[in-house]
Chain A
């Protein structure tokens, strides 16, 4: 009997993911030591893992690799997404240290779960096969479900976790069914081979239904309308640091995977999904922005704003070509810096033993904490898309891609939405700068790591806004391997 032939395993391309998962294991071990170690140490290990993964990612840049018979594709596209994900997770870890010490259980499992979900996100962005895509999605999501309910004693947290889990599981089953149908139609789960098998029969009913179900699953993960209902409740109930991770990392990973699937495997059905996503993009940004206007809870406001931003990013997906996906990648980078920063400011504020999440809590913040107010102000202005901040350049590339591809009206809907969005972002600025506080408002809880994280995010949004070209060009170049 001949021994089972083992396929060669290429560890090299996997290094970033392995570093993150290794750090997760180490964190769990540290937590198990008989003598408890400080959570600062655990957090530092987690941060080191993420920074290591970031460095490994940068080292791999330009050296595309594939592993496990094309199940994982570590091309520049995946690497760019990795940078966004690692960066977002690292910021979240830095923000968590003092935030958790104040509000939550002092356990290592939090950091382990953050790392596991980050590993899932990285795999998701690199998935070259629908099965891996599904597994990575589950790894990411299951960790996030638990994290969302971390504050066990709070009713809202339990509700968030439960809602996230049930709706998430529901959506994942749609996704799985879609994968099954696509497999039925093409006989493979490999993205490249799906593209080859689907060529010339874009209107195969199995394929079309499979595509639709896949989009439902993804729609949930990126919280596009009409699958966005979970987002506000989960964003509100989850610990703010976890909300930041859900809003940035998980969204970046899911969008990267969505783009990869659409642009490589389902390239032939482009006319179909472009029309569908055109409508979804228009509705998503409009619903997100309109509903955000009515919010008084900042976490809910940012939740609806993040829904709207998904709408903007879908413009890039619809635009397609080489400009569209590149614009989305770049936007993800700017969005991660901005949104992580905005949530970061929230983690640093509290009022009378509770989290400061109402807009009213921030009345007069500019008088009490001018620097913090200026930081939140800049993050919000970047979300509005005011130059010369990152958010503007991100939107500029998206709208440019849309105009270039001839989707003029989608671009017009996008800019009208941007004007609409200015209202609710500026309302927060109004509270911070132009209102006097009623009673004790939010106050700053000093945190070195948190402050550092905010400083990094601030430098990021200014840098990306003033000299965007190198980064945007990298994003454009990163998309090239998908388009071959």
Chain B
């Protein structure tokens, strides 16, 4: 048994070390490579479970912390730890990676060795982003993780893969490099202000940059990097290309985990480090989020390609997450965090199932299907559950997140909540319409008559996802219980650090005052309609 003090590092680095060990497996042993990679990923998932059970949900502190000297003269340390937000994302990552590897079992044959190694290295990069509590360390993981994803899209992707891969890297790189300058500026300002030169997030978060232009610029630099990753409208144009061209495993990871890095970045860095700027720009972020919700939904409706439809639906769903976060209410934030997990599960599963159907028919066009229920009933039934979860049917996971977010949004601006709610309606339109055209009706293409139903491997991939979809839908407290204390502390931190006076949490917990003025007037510097 590992000492608990090194558990987080073990979870983070076991995938990469395992991947490097696979370098020594000969290329022709394809079966061994696949099995070993899957076992490593499952081992990592098993290792990450004690994180959940050992995590104290009543505490808002970082847990499983480790701190070691790395670059002492610069004030850089290897500092990792998780709180209620990162815990769920770490678990999501370790849960989805084995599924992604399993999805590639037959789909990827070309350069399989490189593929499994890349996937495992990617997992380390993603976990590193979520556990880092040092800005330098975070930035290293944030950038390093780009490269494996670039290869996954560019080497194993579809016809237009090179374009999509390069676009993905350049977009993300352009955003994150400005963040690097902001990190440095924050470092020197903090150093000049307090005498302690450090990249340690915990230390930096206790201090606040004087409100004004400097804080605003730093916020914008961070926000740009994260907004591109989320992606927040109008920075989303890389997403449809990357998602559609990536192989199934890549799409699952991209949608399931990578997009969450953006929203996670807002929660972890923008809010605590730049509270005033977050409040000042909050209305703009929320406006963009709502535009994204509606825009993503509309564009999804008209897609002819199922994968592209799912890709655009991510723009819409992530818009909900951003809306929830920037309402800065307890409900909105809890909804936002749980919606991150939900989106990872639902959209991950959607991509998995689109991949399954693509493996059978080598097409993803809605028009090429129809009447599948008669041919592949098990597939159709599970697909229905996943579709319903994605559109937010009560009783399944998507509803919990969207409901909390809309409650939070209504508290600060009923109008925005109303517009955002149309996104839920449109989600039902585009998802059910797609489902209807693919699954119901008569069989219009002869090729579809002989499709095999789910294989045992595919069952094994989908059942765990469906279990969690139902679990979160019925009893979300299992997951929200770990994160509420953290989020409450986060809101308190933002409010106590920002210069604008505002009402206390307890008062806002009672909902909108009778006067008709939403509490937003005091949450944000600029009141919304």
A386/B184 in contact, CB under 8 A: no
In the complex, chain B residues whose CB is within 8 Å of the CB of A473: 73
In the complex, chain A residues whose CB is within 8 Å of the CB of B76: 469
Given contacts A387-B139, A403-B185, A408-B185, whether A426 and B180 have CB atoms under 8 Å apart is no
Q: Which of A154-212 contact B (CB under 8 A)?
A: none
Which of A366, A387, A476 sits near B143, CB closer than 8 Å?
Answer: A387
Interface string of B148-163 (1 = CB under 8 A from A): 0011001100000110
Nearest neighbor of B70 in chain A, beta-carbon distance: A469
Interface string of A424-437 (1 = CB under 8 A from B): 00110010011100
Whole-angstrom CA separation of A404 from B181 in the bound complex: 11
Nearest neighbor of A421 in chain B, beta-carbon distance: B173
Q: Which of B171-227 contact A (CB under 8 A)?
A: 173-174, 177-178, 180-181, 184-185, 187-188
Q: Does B521 contact A (CB under 8 A)?
A: no
Q: Is the interface of A mostly helix, strand, loop or mixed?
A: helix
Whole-angstrom CA separation of A399 from B169 in the bound complex: 21
B161/A434 in contact, CB under 8 A: yes
Number of A residues whose C-beta is below 8 Å from B? 34
A418/B146 in contact, CB under 8 A: no
In the complex, chain B residues whose CB is within 8 Å of the CB of A400: 74, 184, 187
Q: Does B467 contact A (CB under 8 A)?
A: no
Whole-angstrom CA separation of A476 from B73 in the bound complex: 10
Given contacts A404-B188, A423-B166, A469-B70, whether A415 and B144 have CB atoms under 8 Å apart is no
Whole-angstrom CA separation of A392 from B147 in the bound complex: 14
In the complex, chain B residues whose CB is within 8 Å of the CB of A10: none
B162/A430 in contact, CB under 8 A: yes
CB distance from A327 to the nearest CB of B (A): 11
CB distance from B93 to the nearest CB of A (A): 19
Q: Does B140 contact A (CB under 8 A)?
A: yes
A399/B181 in contact, CB under 8 A: yes
A430/B181 in contact, CB under 8 A: no
CB distance from B12 to the nearest CB of A (A): 13
Q: Does B381 contact A (CB under 8 A)?
A: no
In the complex, chain B residues whose CB is within 8 Å of the CB of A430: 154, 162, 165-166
Q: Does A456 contact B (CB under 8 A)?
A: no
Q: Which of A456-484 contact B (CB under 8 A)?
A: 467-469, 472-473, 476
Nearest neighbor of B27 in chain A, beta-carbon distance: A370
Q: Does B72 contact A (CB under 8 A)?
A: yes
Q: Which of A386-436 contact B (CB under 8 A)?
A: 386-388, 392, 396, 399-400, 403-404, 408, 411-412, 415-416, 418-419, 422-423, 426-427, 430, 433-435
In the complex, chain A residues whose CB is within 8 Å of the CB of B165: 430, 434
Whole-angstrom CA separation of A469 from B144 in the bound complex: 19
In the complex, chain B residues whose CB is within 8 Å of the CB of A287: none
Q: Does A357 contact B (CB under 8 A)?
A: no
B140/A469 in contact, CB under 8 A: no
Whole-angstrom CA separation of A8 from B78 in the bound complex: 52
Interface string of B118-154 (1 = CB under 8 A from A): 0000000000000000001001110110110011001
Q: Does B71 contact A (CB under 8 A)?
A: yes
In the complex, chain A residues whose CB is within 8 Å of the CB of B21: none
Given contacts A388-B144, A404-B188, A419-B174, whether A399 and B70 have CB atoms under 8 Å apart is no
A386/B180 in contact, CB under 8 A: no
In the complex, chain A residues whose CB is within 8 Å of the CB of B304: none
Whole-angstrom CA separation of A210 from B141 in the bound complex: 47
CB distance from A73 to the nearest CB of B (A): 25
In the complex, chain B residues whose CB is within 8 Å of the CB of A392: 140, 143
Q: Does A381 contact B (CB under 8 A)?
A: yes
Whole-angstrom CA separation of A423 from B170 in the bound complex: 7
Given contacts A387-B139, A408-B181, A418-B177, whether A433 and B151 have CB atoms under 8 Å apart is yes
Nearest neighbor of A419 in chain B, beta-carbon distance: B174
Given contacts A386-B146, A430-B166, whether A415 and B177 have CB atoms under 8 Å apart is yes
CB distance from B142 to the nearest CB of A (A): 9
Which of A388, A408, A426 sits near B166, CB closer than 8 Å?
Answer: A426
CB distance from A477 to the nearest CB of B (A): 10
Counting residue pairs across A and B whose Cβ atoms lie within 8 Å, the total is 87
Nearest neighbor of B71 in chain A, beta-carbon distance: A469
Select the residue from B74, B136, B185 with max chain A CB neighbours within 10 A. B74
Whole-angstrom CA separation of A415 from B111 in the bound complex: 34
In the complex, chain B residues whose CB is within 8 Å of the CB of A388: 140, 144
B169/A422 in contact, CB under 8 A: yes
In the complex, chain A residues whose CB is within 8 Å of the CB of B150: 426
CB distance from B204 to the nearest CB of A (A): 15
CB distance from A4 to the nearest CB of B (A): 50
In the complex, chain A residues whose CB is within 8 Å of the CB of B188: 403-404
CB distance from B442 to the nearest CB of A (A): 41
Nearest neighbor of A389 in chain B, beta-carbon distance: B144
Whole-angstrom CA separation of A408 from B213 in the bound complex: 14
Which of B74, B147, B155 sits near A386, CB closer than 8 Å?
Answer: B147
In the complex, chain A residues whose CB is within 8 Å of the CB of B71: 468-469, 472
Select the residue from B76, B147, B188 with max chain A CB neighbours within 10 A. B147
Nearest neighbor of B140 in chain A, beta-carbon distance: A387
Whole-angstrom CA separation of A411 from B181 in the bound complex: 7
Which of A367, A381, A386, A415 sits near B181, CB closer than 8 Å?
Answer: A415
CB distance from A467 to the nearest CB of B (A): 8
Whole-angstrom CA separation of A366 from B188 in the bound complex: 43
CB distance from B484 to the nearest CB of A (A): 34
In the complex, chain B residues whose CB is within 8 Å of the CB of A367: 111
CB distance from A454 to the nearest CB of B (A): 17
In the complex, chain B residues whose CB is within 8 Å of the CB of A404: 184, 188
Whole-angstrom CA separation of A387 from B162 in the bound complex: 22
A433/B184 in contact, CB under 8 A: no
B73/A469 in contact, CB under 8 A: yes
B184/A426 in contact, CB under 8 A: no
Nearest neighbor of B184 in chain A, beta-carbon distance: A403
Given contacts A469-B74, A476-B73, whether A387 and B144 have CB atoms under 8 Å apart is yes
A434/B169 in contact, CB under 8 A: no
Select the residue from B140, B141, B161 with max chain A CB neighbours within 10 A. B140
Nearest neighbor of B177 in chain A, beta-carbon distance: A415
Select the residue from B139, B147, B155, B180 with max chain A CB neighbours within 10 A. B180
A433/B170 in contact, CB under 8 A: no
Whole-angstrom CA separation of A105 from B187 in the bound complex: 55
CB distance from B85 to the nearest CB of A (A): 23
Given contacts A422-B173, A430-B154, whether A412 and B181 have CB atoms under 8 Å apart is yes
In the complex, chain A residues whose CB is within 8 Å of the CB of B154: 430, 433-434
In the complex, chain A residues whose CB is within 8 Å of the CB of B136: 396
Select the residue from B114, B162, B174, B181 with max chain A CB neighbours within 10 A. B181
Whole-angstrom CA separation of A102 from B370 in the bound complex: 64
Whole-angstrom CA separation of A427 from B170 in the bound complex: 12
A419/B177 in contact, CB under 8 A: yes
Whole-angstrom CA separation of A386 from B140 in the bound complex: 8
In the complex, chain A residues whose CB is within 8 Å of the CB of B174: 416, 419
CB distance from B505 to the nearest CB of A (A): 36
CB distance from B384 to the nearest CB of A (A): 37
In the complex, chain B residues whose CB is within 8 Å of the CB of A370: 114
What would be 6 A-B contacts, judged by CB atoms less than 8 Å apart?
A399-B184, A416-B178, A418-B173, A430-B162, A434-B165, A469-B73
Could you list 8 further interchain pairs (A-B, Cβ under 8 angstroms) beyond the known A408-B181, A434-B162?
A386-B144, A399-B181, A408-B185, A412-B178, A412-B181, A419-B170, A426-B169, A469-B70
Q: Which residues of B contact A (CB under 8 A)?
A: 70-74, 76, 111, 114, 136, 139-141, 143-144, 146-147, 150-151, 154-155, 161-162, 165-166, 169-170, 173-174, 177-178, 180-181, 184-185, 187-188
Instruction: Please provide the 9 A-B residue pairs with the shortest distance between their CB atoms, ordered closest to farther.
Output: A415-B177, A469-B71, A387-B140, A403-B184, A419-B174, A434-B154, A419-B173, A434-B162, A411-B181
Q: Which residues of A contact B (CB under 8 A)?
A: 366-367, 370, 381, 386-388, 392, 396, 399-400, 403-404, 408, 411-412, 415-416, 418-419, 422-423, 426-427, 430, 433-435, 467-469, 472-473, 476
